[in-house]
Structure 1
Amino acid sequence: MELPDDDMLATATLDTPIGELRLAATEAGLAAVLFPNQEDVSFPKRDGSADARAHLDRAVNALTRYFEGRQRDFSELTLAAEGTAFQKSVWAALARIPYGETRSYAQIAREIGNPKGMRAVGLANGRNPIPIIVPCHRVIGANGSLMGFGGGLPTKKWLLEFEGIATPSFV
């Protein structure tokens, strides 16, 4: 993932139980949430424009409330994820997975009208630039396995258990 090279870009960090998250927003909305293990992504420190900063501040506040157990939904945030039309359709389906529930790759593929597209759904899921807020951690294998996750499987397991979802003990 690459962040926009834009002077209007606003960035921030947030200490959480899963480590320091890095967030970026443009004037259009929240553009990225990066996990601590995503050190390969260049992350310039920028104040950005007032509009970008407002999007960023709302996201930081929402994530803070999430990790305090006081927020379960992020629908009030304006998102500006860059991706293909297919990726955006997958991300929209992910955003509809309720807190405390999971879906399989096959279920997401059926939901977006591409029942044989499980692998493509998995790839789009892995390219989600706004994890947690667009809850890609709630997508699991058909057999209940955790599968891959950009923040690492221990982080995925932590997020799911934080939301009250039982996970396999072998992770």
Structure 2
Amino acid sequence: MKLETLKPAKGSVKANDRVGRGHGSGGGGTAKRGHKGAKSRSGYSQKRGFEGGQMPLQRRVPKFGFKNINRVAYKAINLDTIQALFDKTGISNIDLGVLYSNGLISKSDLVKVLGRGELTATVNLRANAFSASAIAAIEKAGGSATVDATFNREAAAEVAAPAVEVVVEEKPKKATKKSKEAN
């Protein structure tokens, strides 16, 4: 094997099509664009959903109903989930930050506590909304239900990473020329 005999593997290198170079290039007078029409001309860009002029699917399908722009979508959290969270963490003051740090909600979720399941723990809940049965069950267990729309980032951070004291030992300072001369 010599340096001048090196060449790429067969089929790994493909030459670019040189279009618009006449009949000898194999592209012909239309430069491989076919005859006439928008696709043969410069500046062509197909609109999204364009189906060649036939009635597009988005317009063929019948439409009904509407989207209510004033709808408030709540993330439902049931009492059995709150009980499981209390059993797991032992936290009695549960708010949006605690729910977020335990992976039950997203940061932007509005939370409504619903009454499915049984709650035996005494918990103080803060959420965006409560059902009547949930309030009754929470108060029966000795807890409280407070409507609060704030997301407590500090509580989320505390639960996610419990506070640990870090002790930093100071290293003795190196003696400088001035301190050596003073001694």
What is the TM-score when the length of structure 1 is the normalising length? 0.25
Larger relative contact order (C-alpha < 8 A, sep ≥ 6)? Answer: 1
- Flag the structure with higher helix content: 1
